């Protein structure tokens, strides 16, 4: 895929300064620019790179005023960052633009797929599955019986969706993700062993949800584990049975949520955060990385630590914690002086 600087400028409502016929066929970082590559500059910290970059085209803000000669063709726009993000979307859509149903895939005769989907090699679609328009199902994807899937959903290679789960529109399920595996439910017996409790619920992903690679979302014991609209889950996250995560909450990698915990809307959750089961987290809560959440949190809380507490007191406490060896030495010195005074 090749574009000229003039075509890109027209797409972004920008102004070309330099060669309108400069060819672009790839995207790159400004410090790693290559011939026929396109980059952008929005943060003044990186301005020095634009004078030496080998990128053929660079998108800049209209307010940018160069201090010396620039060899690249530049495109001036209102917001360089937003415009480059738009180009990234177009480029990514081109890369993922696949269609057709492979003869090496399996689709049950009782299942329906609307429109013109892409179904890759060795993908499996079970009984009574309903899939909307614009589906992209990459090789080795497994979709179990009675699953319902909305429009414009992408399953990358190796994603698994167990039976009876429901997935909304515009969702992305990345490689290795498992939606609807059994929840961790076992009843202890008198002899010390455990009896498995049947997990007969499902998982519901609402619209515009992103599930990272190797993330697992367990089905409910009864009812549903629900990931509400706009939620973004990073790679390597574990969501337990009967959990609910509110609209537009984002969670970073290696976090884990134990069963029946409810997390509110618009929360920001750092990496490696652990949630105890059966607790409630309010809306717009911010949680620092590696925090341990063991009790309910109110709306707008900002917490850190394990066990976690309010972020500001935590930072003050941590300042003292770092000085514990020094403080211990001072205490020992004071104890020694007190003993000396007592002996006198």
Q: Any residues with CB less than 8 A from the CB of 341 and at least 6 apart, and which?
A: none
Cβ(199)–Cβ(180) under 8 Å?
Answer: no
Cβ(100)–Cβ(81) under 8 Å?
Answer: no
CA distance 93 to 95: 5
Q: What token pair was written down for 44? A: 């003044």
Catalytic residue among 140, 163, 241, 278: 241
CA distance 176 to 214: 4
Bond prior to 307 in cis (omega within 30° of 0): yes
Cβ(87)–Cβ(38) under 8 Å?
Answer: yes
- With residue 90 as reference, give the H or E element that holds it: helix 80-95
The question of whether 241 is a catalytic residue gets the answer yes
- With residue 343 as reference, give the H or E element that holds it: helix 324-343
Measure the CA dihedral 148/216/170/98, to 10°.
-90
The burial class, CB within 10 Å (0-12 / 13-18 / 19+), for 301 is buried
Which residues are identified as catalytic? 241
């Amino acid at each position: 895929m090749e574009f000229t600087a003039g075509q890109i400028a027209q797409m972004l409502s920008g102004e070309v300064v330099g060669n309108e016929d400069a060819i672009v066929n790839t995207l790159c970082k400004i410090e790693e620019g290559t011939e026929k590559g396109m980059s952008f500059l929005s943060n003044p910290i990186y301005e020095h790179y634009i004078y030496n970059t080998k990128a053929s085209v660079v998108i800049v803000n209209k307010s940018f005023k160069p201090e010396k000669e620039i060899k690249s063709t530049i495109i001036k726009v209102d917001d360089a960052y937003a415009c480059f993000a738009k180009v990234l979307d177009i480029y990514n859509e081109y890369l993922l633009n696949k269609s057709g149903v492979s003869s090496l895939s399996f689709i049950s005769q009782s299942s329906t797929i609307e429109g013109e989907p892409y179904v890759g090699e060795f993908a499996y679609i079970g009984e009574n599955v309903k899939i909307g328009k614009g589906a992209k199902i990459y090789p080795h994807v497994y979709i179990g019986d009675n699953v319902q899937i909305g429009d414009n959903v992408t399953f990358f290679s190796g994603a698994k969706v167990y039976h009876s789960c429901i997935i909304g529109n515009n969702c992305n399920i990345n490689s290795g993700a498992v939606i609807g595996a059994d929840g961790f439910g076992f009843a202890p017996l008198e002899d010390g062993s455990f009896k498995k409790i049947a997990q007969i619920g499902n998982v519901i992903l609402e619209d515009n949800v992103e599930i990272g690679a190797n993330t697992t979302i367990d089905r409910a014991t009864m009812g549903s584990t629900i990931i509400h609209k706009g939620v973004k889950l990073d790679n390597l996250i574990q969501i337990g049975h009967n959990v609910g995560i509110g609209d537009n909450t984002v969670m970073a990698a290696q976090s884990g949520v134990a069963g029946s915990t409810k997390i509110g809307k618009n929360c920001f959750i750092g990496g490696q955060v652990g949630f105890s089961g059966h607790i409630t987290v309010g809306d717009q809560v911010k949680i620092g990385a590696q925090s341990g959440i063991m009790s309910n949190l109110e709306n707008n809380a900002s917490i850190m630590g394990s066990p976690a507490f309010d972020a500001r007191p935590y930072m003050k406490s941590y300042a003292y914690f770092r000085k514990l060896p020094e403080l211990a030495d001072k205490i020992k010195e004071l104890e020694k002086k007190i003993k000396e005074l007592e002996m006198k």
